[in-house]
Structure 1
Amino acid sequence: MPAQGLTVLVADDSRAQRMVLAMSLGRWGFHVVEAASGSEAMELCRRTAFDIVISDWVMPGLTGPEFCRAFRGLPRDGYGYFILLTSKSEKAEIAVGLDAGADDFLTKPVSADELRARLRSATRIIGMQRELVEKNRLVVDTLTELQVVHESLNRDLIEAKKLQQALVRDRYCSFPGGAASLLMRPSGHVGGDLVGWFEIRPKLVAIYSIDVSGHGIASAMLSAQLAGMLSGHAPGQKGALSRLGTGHYTSWPPEILAGRLNRIMLEEMRVDLYFTMAYAEVDLKTGDVQLVQAGHPHPVILRTDGTVEALGEGGLPIGLLPEVIYTRVQARLSPGDRLILASDGLTEYPFPGGAELGTEGLTTLIRQSAHLPSPALLEALVWDLFSLTGADTPADDISAAILDFAGLP
């Protein structure tokens, strides 16, 4: 670091010594200020942040070590390098100066070559300190900018969470022949799980549970797009419903729907995501169920006598491989039975020892709360899961849907 621009305070009660030091410092490019006592030097330091201080040990008012200690107590941004001039060479005296905060010592009479060497060392240290301060300032500025971005992103995520939760507007809805209960608990602001139901036509409803890979914004956006496809309000070529020649709509069979969604994911969306799905159509008059299981946990039927039956054989997720053939699964509900679709946020919930809840564990939890109405049953599943694992927030997105079958005459 060059001497130009650095200010040096020379504090010495000897006018001759100050003049000698000031002349040398001036020739080397330093700006010099003089003080005749420790008290005067301290007053100057309160008004000016000197880069380097060269102070005699013995002065009126304040000794060199006392001045140094007071100097170190001043508030300042940069570092001040302090050199004590002394005729003392005993280790105990040097220790006193170091304890007061001195950086270096020069023995009087001062050698110009030694003084210049010590000042080079001082300028290097001051330069490194200023560079460090500048880097710290850049780090603080960057962190401040990142904090602003983080707060903005956090606000966006909160709004995104509200929008995603709005996709499941009615957590409980009764209709002629049955009722639907829905649960969504994302592990973060937004998640990739989605549950829902819609009427295909009178006396025929669809219910589904979807788990998109990942937990971030991309997963949430895909789940929102799938919510539009799996809706009775937006039928079309890419949805669950197809138009008949009469102008009415009917549904694609579950296994055909899964194949169509697989093709759309691979050929049209082309994203590095996939999803698992359990999708079922329920005839509210007969109780007939047609469903597809695409990599999703097994759908189960909770019978009125408390028994639990698992459905399906697994299947492949949607969006991983082309030309996948999905299989239709059939079952029949009796009045009072409940069809339950749940994401792997329940079945694969980790226990402290590394084990998972699993299908059998979920079956046990369902049996324990089988006496509860479906909305309370869903909440009980989450409560029991947290109690078993000691958690208070989901480790993964948790979602589930229940269709209560009452039957139509």
Structure 2
Amino acid sequence: MQSIAKPAAPPPSTRTAPLDQRILVVDDSRAQRMVLAATLRRSGYDVMEADCAEVALELAQAHDLRLVLSDWMMPGMSGPELCRALRAREGGDYVYFILLTSKNEQAEITEGLEMGADDFLTKPVSGEELRARLKAGKRILDMQAELTAKNRLVEDTLTELQRLYDLVDSDLREARKLQDALVRDRFHDFGTGQVSLLLRSSGHVGGDLVGFFRASQTQVALYSIDVSGHGITSALMTARLAGHLNTASPEYNIALRHTAAEFYRVLPTDVVVTRFNELMTSVIETEHYFTIAFAIVDLTSGEVQLTQAGHPHPAVQRLGGAVEFHGDGGLPVGLIDGARYERVKLRLDPGDRLLLCSDGLTECPAPSGALLDEDGLAAMMQRHRDTRGPALLEAMVWDLTDFHGSDGFPDDLSAVLFEYGGPPSAEL
């Protein structure tokens, strides 16, 4: 029997008929096709015909047919094989497939289901039963179309969210570069003392800030700051605070006071922290606050004055390895208007070092939930008492990774390490 050729274009009624009113009848018997087509047209369907599975595949693809009524036994590709081929199409919409069969054995029905058939009709076909089965198929197609539309909406939404995420991610990477630029000089040798800095954010950007500046010919100021919260707003706050500790524009440096001409002098540490608190409570109106350890070291005598405001206690490691913690605690900056802060004095001898760090170290948890705390920090410093400068800070991060169980720390890590060598004439 000669196959029906694929028409160049569907008839006008098929081009305009709704998808759920268009059906493809596949049967190698011309008489059987005519009977089924007549029944379907009387029920309002636009019918296309194919006398073999190969032609049916072409018509279904060309005219986006969603309802297929196919005989089981045909020359060449069988009805179940046609069903499987339709299901295997890339990107095709769902097709409701009904098999016509004279078979009623359970094994054959199971075979058809396994190949993807949705329903079965036994020959000879009852018109009422056929219409009822097609109504059920149309309900399924309607649900499938609704589900597809919702899935496409979800996909479009996810695509847009991914685009926005990529945009935010790109901005955050640039913000990270700008934040890193606030601490460009991670090591500086003052001759009689050396400063090393650690700054590692737990996310793209963080709320920690560390740094130092030359306060006078014989003094260096050190600071470790931890802004509350995480993310962009905390990072913006650190940028603003960094501007208030910048010696490039001494008139804006909150730690300096103008004396005469182009001369400035550094203020006591408790006054500096008090000025920060006044700034936060009266000028910078924000829900954020921050903790700080601020120290001024005399490079010739080793004398240190420091103020602690809610920050972990500064640690001093003596030449022999013993670790001491100093400071009076104090309130975080920006919480209470008029808060008072204390100044502590101590002395570094040649070979001693001072560490200011954020609670990202001392409050780092082990897998058990136990915190590193001051004892753990002291043990780290003692374990690496012969390691100097940036290498010490790096070794401490490695130790913290072992303690935490991974390098995915829950909080930012930051520290300022000052190592005192003593006056030029001193002999260690």
In the other structure, the counterpart of 2:292 is: 277
Mapped pair 1:55 → 2:31: no
In the other structure, the counterpart of 1:152 is: 167
Q: Please, which of 5, 20, 28 is the counterpart of residue 13 of structure 1?
A: 28
Post-superposition offset of 1:46: 5.1
- 1:133-152 superposed matches below 5 A: 133-152=148-167
Q: Please, which of 14, 18, 32 is the counterpart of residue 4 of structure 1?
A: 18
Mapped pair 1:361 → 2:383: no
Aligned residues of 2:243 and 2:252 also touching (Cα < 8 A): no
- 1:168-179 superposed matches below 5 A: 168-179=183-194
In the other structure, the counterpart of 2:335 is: 320
In the other structure, the counterpart of 2:365 is: 350
| Alignment partners' CA distance in 1, 2:280 and 2:147 | 51
| Alignment partners' CA distance in 1, 2:170 and 2:326 | 41
Aligned residues of 2:227 and 2:288 also touching (Cα < 8 A): yes
Aligned residues of 2:25 and 2:70 also touching (Cα < 8 A): yes
Q: Please, which of 227, 231, 235 is the counterpart of residue 216 of structure 1?
A: 231
| Alignment partners' CA distance in 2, 1:27 and 1:65 | 27
Letter in 1 for 2:187: Y
Letter in 1 for 2:149: E
Aligned residues of 2:246 and 2:252 also touching (Cα < 8 A): no
Deviations 1:286-344 (A, max 9, x none): 32211110111110112223222210121111122222111111112223321211111
Residue 39 to residue 205, structure 1, CA distance change in 2 (3 Å): closer
| Alignment partners' CA distance in 1, 2:153 and 2:85 | 31
Residue 260 to residue 105, structure 1, CA distance change in 2 (3 Å): same
**Unaligned stretches of 5+ residues in structure 2:** 1-15
Q: Please, which of 228, 235, 241 is the counterpart of residue 256 of structure 2?
A: 241
Residue 3 to residue 86, structure 1, CA distance change in 2 (3 Å): farther
Post-superposition offset of 1:407: 4.1
In the other structure, the counterpart of 1:388 is: 403
* TM-score (normalizing by structure 1): 0.92
Residue 269 to residue 117, structure 1, CA distance change in 2 (3 Å): farther
Q: Please, which of 289, 292, 305 is the counterpart of residue 307 of structure 2?
A: 292
Mapped pair 1:88 → 2:115: no
Secondary structure in 1 aligned to 2:293?
strand
In the other structure, the counterpart of 1:333 is: 348
In the other structure, the counterpart of 2:132 is: 117
| Alignment partners' CA distance in 1, 2:242 and 2:55 | 78
Count of equivalent residues = 408
Q: Please, which of 248, 252, 270 is the counterpart of residue 255 of structure 1?
A: 270
Aligned residues of 1:177 and 1:203 also touching (Cα < 8 A): no
Aligned residues of 1:173 and 1:180 also touching (Cα < 8 A): yes
Aligned residues of 1:182 and 1:196 also touching (Cα < 8 A): yes
| Alignment partners' CA distance in 1, 2:235 and 2:119 | 62
| Alignment partners' CA distance in 2, 1:319 and 1:162 | 27
Aligned residues of 2:296 and 2:305 also touching (Cα < 8 A): yes
Post-superposition offset of 1:99: 2.5
Aligned residues of 1:3 and 1:28 also touching (Cα < 8 A): no
Post-superposition offset of 1:231: 2.2
In the other structure, the counterpart of 2:199 is: 184
Residue 288 to residue 131, structure 1, CA distance change in 2 (3 Å): same
Secondary structure in 2 aligned to 1:26?
helix
Deviating 4+ runs (over 4 angstroms): none
Residue 378 to residue 75, structure 1, CA distance change in 2 (3 Å): closer
Post-superposition offset of 1:39: 4.4
Secondary structure in 2 aligned to 1:236?
helix
Post-superposition offset of 1:47: 4.0
Letter in 2 for 1:361: G
Post-superposition offset of 1:142: 2.2
Aligned residues of 2:23 and 2:66 also touching (Cα < 8 A): yes
Residue 228 to residue 35, structure 1, CA distance change in 2 (3 Å): same
| Alignment partners' CA distance in 1, 2:281 and 2:251 | 19
| Alignment partners' CA distance in 1, 2:277 and 2:244 | 13
Q: Please, which of 116, 141, 155 is the counterpart of residue 101 of structure 1?
A: 116
| Alignment partners' CA distance in 2, 1:44 and 1:395 | 60
Deviations 1:81-119 (A, max 9, x none): 111123333433322322232101223333333222211
Secondary structure in 2 aligned to 1:392?
coil
In the other structure, the counterpart of 1:310 is: 325
In the other structure, the counterpart of 2:79 is: 64
Aligned residues of 2:246 and 2:253 also touching (Cα < 8 A): no
Secondary structure in 2 aligned to 1:123?
helix
Identity of aligned residues (%): 53
Secondary structure in 2 aligned to 1:319?
coil
Deviations 1:106-134 (A, max 9, x none): 23333333222211211121122122222
Residue 377 to residue 238, structure 1, CA distance change in 2 (3 Å): closer
Residue 183 to residue 78, structure 1, CA distance change in 2 (3 Å): same
Residue 381 to residue 21, structure 1, CA distance change in 2 (3 Å): same
In the other structure, the counterpart of 2:5 is: none
